[in-house]
Amino acid sequence: MHNGKRFSLDEIINVQSLQEIQNKFSEATGIAAVTVDANGAPVTKPSKFTDFCCYVRSFPDGFERCKACDDRGGRNAMEKQRPVVYHCHSGLTDFAAPIIVQNEYVGALLAGQVVLPNPDFDAKQEMFSRLLPLGMDKEILSELFDKIAIIPEHRLQAAADLLHLMANYIVEMSATNLVQKQLMAELKAKSELQNLLRAAELKALQAQINPHFLFNALNTIARLSLLEGAERTQEVVHSLSALLRTNLRDMEEMRTLQQEIKSIEDYLSIQQVRFGDRIQATIEIQPELMKISVPALSLQPLVENAIIHGLEPKKEGGHIYISGYVANNNIIIRVSDTGVGIPQERMGAILKSEKRSSKGHLTGIGLINVHQRIQHYFGEQYGLRIESKVGEGTEVYLSLPNVS
């Protein structure tokens, strides 16, 4: 990589995905944002930068000070291993969320360009004292400064924590893809390739949490932070944090069914905030089944597809049922929905390849991966079976051996 570093931000991350998340964040919160690399240089286009900051950055000295300030803010966040709120060189309030890959600082998400309501700090006079010596016009500075949003610190801190979580998810996903490519290129001729590829496929499945869901979760949380107190927002952030932490950091090849159900509950709690009463969920698993081992991340793709492709297209929404039981000496996990159903001509292709709908969405995302991994671990007689009727709903049966 560069300068003795193992990772470079623009090499390991899909900048377009990060740009989209950054743009969604700024649209939902009204807070400006930009992403910089480990040296403070921008890697994304600024989102909703204020006219004030654009004016300051139009001066060479102002731009250099902004870049140096961005670098200091990012490194401060890196040292503290968490988002930090600080005053920029112009006296505005910013925050920096570090992007850390395998304990290495590769950059930061910077946002803010706002003023905090602080009667003990005259931000405007502080701004004049810092910028007028650079030859900037006082009247222009004053006019543009008066347009800057005044935002309470708790809202800014909540936004910092959220953006930090989302950015590091994308970075972890990109780093996983990079490692997977390196493994495939360097170890293709070795006899252990199959086992290594299985591990890489498992990591790739971690990264398949639908970005559509992440963007909607981001908008949901941002809107809640603007419209109500912190209690509900905290619950949603906690669920999202637990979900991503489990799927990204604590993931092993096999987990207990109880751990899988906990991830599903976190996922559903976020979706139910987004959809409200449109989506209802019922989970009924026989208690003695909760200790069985299942391939990690086996259930979430089933629930996610039920919501996105089954219930979301219905204006009135519907119900998801998750049940577990023993039948014919097999363990069956059933995920059903009362959604729009799947046309018969598409049923046969779902467990063979991932097909795209007319809107470009993957209609079988994750399902083929779950099916193949179950067969890999337990044999071809196990896996997924799908039944569906258009207009009535879909049932997905996951079968496992009963080894108790």
pLDDT tens-digit readout, 285-330: 989 999 999 988 889 889 988 998 899 888 898 999 999 999 988 9
Q: How far is CA 393 from CA 328, 337, 339, 354, in A?
A: 25, 5, 4, 20
pLDDT of residue 191: 47
Highest mean pLDDT among 165-169, 214-218, 240-244: 165-169
Mean pLDDT of 255-272: 87
Mean pLDDT of 147-166: 79
| Cα–Cα distance measured from residue 368 to residue 375, given in angstroms and rounded to the nearest whole number | 11
What is the CB neighbour count within 10 angstroms for residue 50?
20
Please state which of the ranges 13-17, 221-225, 347-351 shows the lowest mean pLDDT.
221-225
pLDDT tens per residue, range 1-22: 445 566 677 777 778 877 888 8
Could you tell me the pLDDT band of residue 389, with boundaries at 50, 70 and 90? very high
Chain mean pLDDT for the chain? 79
Who's near 96: CB < 8 A, 6+ residues apart? 70, 73, 74, 76, 77, 83, 84, 86, 108, 109, 110, 160
Q: What's the predicted TM-score (pTM) here?
A: 0.48
Comparison of pLDDT for 73 and 321, the residue scoring more: 321
Could you tell me the pLDDT band of residue 349, with boundaries at 50, 70 and 90? confident
Q: Is the Cβ–Cβ distance between 79 and 137 less than 8 Å?
A: no
Mean pLDDT of 115-141: 89
Q: Is the Cβ–Cβ distance between 259 and 247 less than 8 Å?
A: no
Extended strands (E) in 27-147: 32-37, 84-87, 93-101, 104-114
Alpha helix ranges (H) inside 13-107: 15-29, 51-57, 60-80
Residue 123, CB-side half-sphere exposure with 13 Å CA sphere: 22
